[in-house]
Amino acid sequence: MVANLGKEQPPAARRGARRRRPRRESALVWWVLFAAVGVAAWYLHSWRIALLGLLGWCLYEFLLVPTLCRVLTRQGAPCVERARGRLFACTPSHQHVKNDALWKLIGMRNPFRRRPAADDERGSGVVVHSANVRGRLVPADRAMILLAGIGTIVTVVGMVYGFD
């Protein structure tokens, strides 16, 4: 048997194959939890428990939902890498583009933006899609982020109202 000096090609079965990603928890587990909180709020006639469930759902949508990055690449196809939460992207360069899109969603420019996003996909250097086009949120993500934001505002107002 000859020692592997690192100059040989990998076996044909492994050539070009992507590594296997670990499985994530099912979204059904979260929805069962939200349903249980909703049933508890209805059974106990407690709007405070309902607000707690709404706040949990908002945090889930912002931070924990298993989703895809969906930032447009320079060639125009959406990124299919996995991300956790609707506010996050897969890489720092994609996160810059997504941050700009989130600021644009509320009608402002990103005040923390220092320089243009550096892409790891230099390719030919020809920009097929501008940063404004690449930073558009998918309509489903836009709707869920707006609903979760409204839900957070409702929760905070309800909590302040509950102090009276």
Containing domain of residue 66, as a range? Answer: 28-113+129-162
pLDDT band at 7 (very low <50, low <70, confident <90, very high): low
Q: How far apart are CA 133 and CA 113, in angstroms?
A: 17
Does residue 5 lie within any of the structural domains?
A: no
Whether 8 is in a domain gets the answer no
Residue 125 pLDDT more than 60?
Answer: no
* Residue 85: alpha-carbon gap to chain centroid: 4
| Tens of pLDDT, residues 64-102 | 998 888 888 777 788 889 998 999 999 998 888 888 888
* Position 68 in a domain: yes
Q: Assess if residue 4 is contained within a domain.
A: no
DSSP 37-53: HHHHHHHHT-HHHHHHH
